Amino acid sequence: MCRYAMTFYRVHYVCVPCRRSHKYAWDDATHRCTSCRRPMVFAGHDFAAPRRRNDSGWAAVAAVLGAGLRYEGFEVCGCGRQPKFRPRTRAQVRARRRVGRRLGVSEAGALAARDPYDATECGSSALGQLR
């Protein structure tokens, strides 16, 4: 039996306009930002917030969360921890969106691909990473 199966992890919630992130218990409650009182967005287990002054990093976070992706890497039991790729800069987001439009791939599939120019990665395997 996996030793991590019975552990309850706290997950990251993000307020993109305020550029704040907090860890809360993983429940169905609505967590509000401590400064603006707007509902925070569930970002996942493996989210690493960029610095507050990093405009490019926060633009990438907004694009990833807006596409419906999360920063996840946990398997069901917590053992297999392979974080999925997510773009970290505005330039990476632009490149993946451009190639995704050219290949006819959804925005979420294009943003989840590690290499945007690899057509096989942007296709069905990237769509499997949406969880």
Residue 23 confidence (pLDDT) above 60: yes
pLDDT at 127: 39
Contact of 72 with 25, CB cutoff 8 Å: no
pLDDT at 66: 92
Burial of 116 (0-12, 13-18, 19+ CB in 10 A): buried
The residues near 18 (Cβ < 8 Å, ≥ 6 apart) are 33, 35, 36, 38
pLDDT digits (tens, 9 = 90+) for 39-95: 999 998 888 899 999 999 999 999 999 998 888 876 555 566 666 788 889 999 999
Q: State pTM to two decimals.
A: 0.76
pLDDT digits (tens, 9 = 90+) for 113-125: 887 776 555 554 4
